Structure 1
Amino acid sequence: MTDDGLWSIGELAARAGVTVKTVRHYSDRGLLPEAARSGGGHRRYGPQALDRLRLIRSLRSLDLGVPEVRRVIERDEALEEVLAARLREVGSQLAVLRWREAALRLVQDCAAGERAERLRLLGAVSLPPDSGALVRFWRRVLPARLPARLVTTVLDSVVPPPPADPTPPQVLAFARLHGLVSDPRLDSGEFRPAPPLPAGEYRPTVLYEGLAEAYALAARGVDEALGEGEALDCFVAAYAAALGTADTPAFRRRLVGLLARSDGPVVHRYWKLAAGLFAPGEPVLGALHHHLSVALHAQVGSRAG
C-alpha cells in the first residue's frame, strides 16, 4: 500500500483473492473505480474498488453475465429484475435437463427392438416439447365459427401442458401424441377426425357452452353412475339445443350414432395418450365425454330392451 492508502493492481488482486488479469479485465470494462494513477501511469485502487470487486465476484458466482453485473452496479434496484430473469433461465434449463434425463431413461430401459421407434419419435420433438402441434390439431377439429373465448376454453381443457418433471412413460406418451396429431393423413381420408355434429346443421356456440356445463357437472360427481342424472341430461340437452330439437327417446337413440361417428380412432387414441399427461386429479375432458357417451349408450340400450 502506498503512503496515500491506495493499492496497486497486484495488491488489490491479492486482497480480493483473484488474479491480476481479472482485476485488469473488470477495470477495462469500467466496472472497477480507479482512485488514481501513479507517476508512472500505474493504476491505484482504494477500499471502494475492493468492495466493488467482491460484489462482482458474488454476482458472477450466481452465473450472471457482465452486462447484468453492470446493470446492478449502475442501478441498485436492477438486482431484483436481474435475479428474476436468471431464475427463469435456470428454470428453463432445468426443464430441458429433466426431459432429457427421462428421454435417456426411456431409450435405455426399453427392449432393443423398441429403441428404433422410440428414437424416431423423440427425434421429431424438441425437449422439452411445446404444445403447438396439439393446439393446431384441435383448431382443425373445432368449428370455424366458434367464438374465440370458447376456443380458448376448449384448448385449455384438451391440450395437456408438458409435465415439468416427466417420467419416461410421459415422455413417450407426449412423443406419440405429437406424432399422432402431426400425421399427414389427418388432411384427407377416413383418418381425418369427424366434427361433433354434421357441419352446417347445428349451432357450435350453443353446443360447446352446453357441453362445458355437462362436463363440469360430471367432474364434480353430481351423479356418480351418470346413467340417470343431471350431468347426462345436460350432456344430451347440449346436443339437442345445438340442433334445435327436443330431447326425446328417439333423439337419444340418434345421438348415440352421432357420438359414435365423431369419437373416431384418432380422437380415441388422442385421449388414451393424453390421459397420463394431465395433473393428478385434474378432470380430463376426453374421459368425461367418454363416460357420458357410454352412459347414454347404456341408457338407450336398457330402454330398448
Structure 2
Amino acid sequence: MPPDSMWSIGELAERAGVTVKTVRFYSDRGLLPEGTRSSGGHRRYGPDALDRLHLIRSLRTLDLPVPEVGRILDEEDTLEDVVAGKLRQIGSRLAALRWQEAALQLLQECAPEERAERLRLIGAVAVPPSTAPLARFWRRWLPPRLPARLVSAIVDQTVPQLPEGPTPAQVLAFTRLYAFVTAPCPGTGQGQPAAHGPDGGRPAVLYDGLGEAYGLAAGQVRAERSPHEGEALDCFVSAYARSRGTRDTPAFRRRLSGLLAADPRIDRYWDLTAELTGPSEPTPGATHDWLCAALDEQIAHAAG
C-alpha cells in the first residue's frame, strides 16, 4: 500500500471517533496490528484498521473482555460461542439480583423479632441459589441400587424448579426447604418407608409404577376432585403388589393401607415445595396423599 494512503495513529483515531490513547491501547495488546512504521518510527495504519477498530469497539460495548475480543479476531473462538457464554453469565447475575431483591424485601417486610431467623436462613443459601442440595437429599433418601435412569426421573419430579423472579414468600419457602434437606436429621421421622427395607420387595418395580400412578392422580388433584377409586388407585396398588410379587386383592389392599399409614412422612418437604411452586402443579407428595386417601375411602366403603 502506498505510504500516502496510510494513516497516522492520530488520523485513525479521528476517523474512528476515539482517542489516540484508545488506539494505542489496542495496538499494544495486539488487537490492532499496525501496517508499517514511518521513517521516524511512528505507527502507520491502513484503511482495514478502521474496520477492525470499529469491530473491536462493538465487541467491547458488549462488555467482552479484551482477551475474548482477541480470540474472536484471531478466529480462535466464534462470536456465537462467546456471546452464548456471556448470556449465561448475565443470566446468572440477573438471577442473583432478583434473588437478592426478594430477600431484601423479605427482611424489610417481616417483624423485627423475625429478622434474626430470616437472616440466618438467607445467609445459608448461595446466591444465586442452587437446588443441588435437594437432589442430594433425594439420592440419599431413595433405596439403594435403583437404576440410574429411574433415580434421575425421580429427582426431576421431586426437586422443584426455582422461579425466575421469586417473591419474598418464595425466597422464605426455599430457604426453609434448604434448611430442611441439609439438617442432620431432616423430617419428623428418621426411618425409611417399608418399601426401602429388606422386606419391601423390588423397589425399582415399585417406583416405576408409582411414577405412572402419580401422573394419573395429578389430574384428579389439579381438578380438586375428592379421593376415589379408579384407574389411578388401581395403578398405585398394582405397583406395590407387583413389587412384592403378589396379587392385588381386597386383603392386600387392607394390609397396604396399614403399611402406608405407618410409613415415616416428609410432609414438611412437600408443604414447602408447594409454597415455592404454587398450587398449579400438584407435588408427588400431594398425589401420594390423594391416593392413600382414595385407598382408605375404598376400604371403608367396602367395610360399611
TM score, norm. by length of structure 2: 0.90
Counterpart in 1 of 2:237? 236
8 Å CA contact 1:35–1:45 kept in 2: the answer is yes
Could you tell me how far 1:247 is from its partner in structure 2? 2.3
Q: Which amino acid aligns with 1:272?
A: D
8 Å CA contact 2:233–2:291 kept in 1: the answer is yes
Q: Which amino acid aligns with 2:269?
A: Y
Q: Which amino acid aligns with 1:250?
A: A
8 Å CA contact 1:6–1:45 kept in 2: the answer is yes
Deviates more, 1:48-57 or 1:277-286: 277-286
SS in 1 for 2:198: coil
Task: Say whether residues 1:38 and 2:47 are aligned partners.
Answer: no
Q: Residues of 2 paired with 1:148 and 1:32: CA distance? A: 52
Q: 1:4-36 CA distances to partner (integer Å, 9 max, x unpaired)? A: 032222222222222222111100111113122
Could you tell me how far 1:49 is from its partner in structure 2? 1.4
Counterpart in 2 of 1:195? 193
Q: Which amino acid aligns with 2:287?
A: L
Q: Residues of 2 paired with 1:286 and 1:69: CA distance? A: 50
Could you tell me how far 1:193 is from its partner in structure 2? 4.4
Q: Residues of 1 paired with 2:277 and 2:66: CA distance? A: 40
Could you tell me how far 1:283 is from its partner in structure 2? 4.3
What value does the CA root-mean-square deviation take over the aligned residues? 2.4
Could you tell me how far 1:251 is from its partner in structure 2? 2.4
Q: Residues of 2 paired with 1:21 and 1:102: CA distance? A: 43
Could you tell me how far 1:196 is from its partner in structure 2? 4.5
Q: Residues of 2 paired with 1:6 and 1:96: CA distance? A: 49
Q: Residues of 2 paired with 1:60 and 1:279: CA distance? A: 42
Q: 1:109-168 CA distances to partner (integer Å, 9 max, x unpaired)? A: 111111111110011110221112111211221110211111111111101122222111
Q: Which amino acid aligns with 1:235?
A: F
Q: 1:256-279 CA distances to partner (integer Å, 9 max, x unpaired)? A: 222222252xx1000000113347
8 Å CA contact 1:34–1:44 kept in 2: the answer is yes
Q: Residues of 1 paired with 2:167 and 2:180: CA distance? A: 20
Q: Residues of 1 paired with 2:146 and 2:31: CA distance? A: 57
Q: Which amino acid aligns with 1:109?
A: E
Superposition pairs for residues 256-275 of structure 1, below 5 Å?
A: 256-264=257-265, 267-275=266-274
Q: Using a 3 Å threshold, how does the CA distance of structure 1 residues 78 and 96 change in structure 2: closer, same or farther?
A: same
Q: Residues of 2 paired with 1:272 and 1:279: CA distance? A: 10
Q: Residues of 1 paired with 2:26 and 2:77: CA distance? A: 21
Task: Say whether residues 1:277 and 2:276 are aligned partners.
Answer: yes
- Aligned sequence identity (%): 60
Q: Which amino acid aligns with 1:277?
A: L
Could you tell me how far 1:241 is from its partner in structure 2? 1.9
TM score, norm. by length of structure 1: 0.90
Task: Say whether residues 1:214 and 2:213 are aligned partners.
Answer: yes
SS in 1 for 2:5: coil
Q: 1:220-241 CA distances to partner (integer Å, 9 max, x unpaired)? A: 4499444121101111121122
SS in 2 for 1:215: helix
Counterpart in 2 of 1:250? 251
Q: Residues of 1 paired with 2:119 and 2:192: CA distance? A: 31
SS in 2 for 1:191: coil
Counterpart in 1 of 2:64? 64
8 Å CA contact 2:138–2:155 kept in 1: the answer is yes
Q: Which runs of 5+ in 1 are unaligned?
A: none
Q: Which runs of 5+ in 2 are unaligned?
A: none
8 Å CA contact 1:235–1:292 kept in 2: the answer is yes
Could you tell me how far 1:63 is from its partner in structure 2? 0.6
Counterpart in 2 of 1:4? 4
Q: 1:190-227 CA distances to partner (integer Å, 9 max, x unpaired)? A: 63142242611111011111111211221244994441
Q: Residues of 1 paired with 2:35 and 2:27: CA distance? A: 12
8 Å CA contact 1:226–1:295 kept in 2: the answer is yes
Q: Residues of 1 paired with 2:259 and 2:202: CA distance? A: 15
8 Å CA contact 1:197–1:258 kept in 2: the answer is no
Q: Residues of 2 paired with 1:214 and 1:129: CA distance? A: 31
